[in-house]
Structure 1
Amino acid sequence: MQLRVTFVAAARSSSLLTERFEDDRPLDQAGWDQVLAVAPELLPLAAAELRYCSPTPRSRATGDALGYAPLVQLALRDCDMGRWRGLTLGEAMAREPESVDAWLADPRSTPHGGESLLAFVARVGEWLDTRPMEDGGRVVAVVEPAVVRAALVYVLKAPPSTFWNIDVRPLSAITVTGRAGRWNLRFEGVSAQHTRA
C-alpha cells in the first residue's frame, strides 16, 4: 500500500522581504485574500483521511480556513533558528555575517544555536516515514514553506544544498507518494486529452 501525502504551504503572514525565521505572526490580509482565492482548488484535499499542520498560527489558520480541521504536529515545525528566531535574513546577516555565511555553506552548522539543516531535513523525513499506513491512504499537511523544502530534499535524496534552490510559494501544493524510505514526487496537471488543440 502506498500513501499519498500532499503538503500545502501556508498562506502568507508578511511580504517575502519581511519573512522572519520561525515567524509566529498570524495571517495578514493578503494571506486571507489568497486563501479565499484558491480555496476552490484546495478544498477537495479536506477529504484526506489524515489532516495535519505545523504549529504556527498561519499554518493552523490556513488549514482551518480550507476546512481541513488539521491536527498540530510538532515534528512539522519550522527549523529551530536559535537566537535568530524572529529575525529576517538581512537582520541576521547585519549582526553576524560570518555566522550566516557558515550556516548557508555547511548543512551541519548551527551558528545560531538551534537546529542544523541536516537535522531539520531528517526530522521532517522521519515524520513522513512514520505515517501509519493503516490509517488511510491520503494525508494533507499545511506547513511552513521551509518544511515543504525539507520534505522535498528528503524525498528526492538530494544534496542538502538543494534546499536553497527550492522556491515554495504560499498556498502551493506538492504531493509525494510511497512509503517509508521509498518516496516519489508526483506532478499532477491537465491530462493529455485536454491539451490537444
Structure 2
Amino acid sequence: MDTRLLLISHASTAAQRAGRFPADDPLDARGLAEAQAARTRLEIADDADAFVSPAACTRETAAALGLAASVDAGLADMNYGAWQGRRLADLAAKAPQDLAAWARDPDAAPHGGESFSQLVKRVGEWLDALNGAKDRAPNHALDVIAVTHAPVLRAAIVHALGASPAVFPRIEIAPLSMIELRRSSRGWTWWPASH
C-alpha cells in the first residue's frame, strides 16, 4: 500500500524566537495564534492517521490544527543534551569550537545529545516502520499526518533522498512548514507539499 505522509513543523515558541535550544517549551499566545491561522491554509485530510511528538509545542500545535493525534516517541525532537534550553549566542561565546564542530560534522553531538547522523537514522527507522492502522481498500493510499520539529522534517528529507547527513544544515524549515513524502514500491520520495 502506498503512503502519503504530511510532516508539519510546530508553531513558533518564545524560546525559538529568543535563539534557545528547545526544552519542551509550550506555545505562547503568538505561536498558538499562528497555529490557529494555519489551520485554514493547510490541507489536512479528515480521515488521515495523525501522530505527534511528545513535546508540548507539537501537541498544542496539533490541537490548534484540529488534529486528534496519537503521541509517538519516534517523532521526538533532536536530543540537544547539555545544550537543552541554552541560548545559541551563549554557546557561541563559551564553547565556539564545540558549536562549530556540531554545525560542520554530522557525527558530532552536544554533550549527552544526539548527532545529525543519529537523528537521520532514528527518523528513517520511524519512516520505514510506518504503516496504516486503518483498514483501506487495496488501491487506496494511506494518508498520515505528523506534527513534529524542524530537525525531524530535515532528517526525513535526508532519509527520503538517500542523501548524506552532511546536507542536514543546508535544509531550512520554518515554523508551521509542511513537507510531503510518499512511499511506494520504489521507496520514499519527496513531493512539493500542496497548501
Q: Compute the TM-score of the two structures, normalised by the length of structure 1.
A: 0.87
* Distance (Å, rounded) in 1 between the aligned partners of 2:62 and 2:92: 33
**Percent of aligned positions with the same letter in both sequences?**
35
1:128 shift after superposition: 0.7
Runs (4+) of structure 1 moved beyond 3 Å? 133-136
Q: Please name the residue that 1:22 is paired with.
A: 22
Whether contact under 8 Å (1:46, 1:67) holds in the other structure is no
Q: Note if 1:126 corresponds to 2:131.
A: no
- Among residues 151, 155, 161, which one is paired with 2:156 in the alignment? 151
Q: Please name the residue that 2:53 is paired with.
A: 54
- Among residues 167, 170, 173, which one is paired with 1:162 in the alignment? 167
Deviation sequence 1:138-187 (CA, Å, 0-9, x none): 10000111111111111111221221111111111111001588111111
* Distance (Å, rounded) in 1 between the aligned partners of 2:117 and 2:185: 18
Whether contact under 8 Å (1:153, 1:163) holds in the other structure is yes
* Residues 99 and 33 of structure 1, relative CA distance in 2, 3 Å threshold: same
1:119 shift after superposition: 0.6
User: Which residue type is aligned with residue 174 of structure 2?
Assistant: R
* Distance (Å, rounded) in 2 between the aligned partners of 1:33 and 1:152: 28
What is the SS of the residue equivalent to 2:14?
coil
Deviation sequence 1:20-63 (CA, Å, 0-9, x none): 22332211222122122221122x42524310011111100010
1:89 shift after superposition: 2.0
Alignment of 1:36-185 (within 5 A): 36-42=36-42, 44-133=43-132, 135=134, 137-179=142-184, 182-185=187-190
* Residues 173 and 160 of structure 1, relative CA distance in 2, 3 Å threshold: same
* Residues 188 and 175 of structure 1, relative CA distance in 2, 3 Å threshold: closer
* Residues 55 and 30 of structure 1, relative CA distance in 2, 3 Å threshold: same
What is the SS of the residue equivalent to 2:44?
helix
* Distance (Å, rounded) in 2 between the aligned partners of 1:147 and 1:141: 10
Q: Structure 2: which 5+ runs fail to align?
A: 137-141
Instruction: Select the structure that is richer in helix.
Output: 1
Q: Compute the TM-score of the two structures, normalised by the length of structure 2.
A: 0.88
* Residues 163 and 54 of structure 1, relative CA distance in 2, 3 Å threshold: same
Whether contact under 8 Å (1:54, 1:78) holds in the other structure is yes
What do you get for the CA RMSD once the two structures are aligned? 2.1
* Residues 69 and 46 of structure 1, relative CA distance in 2, 3 Å threshold: farther
Q: Structure 1: which 5+ runs fail to align?
A: 191-197
* Residues 108 and 65 of structure 1, relative CA distance in 2, 3 Å threshold: same
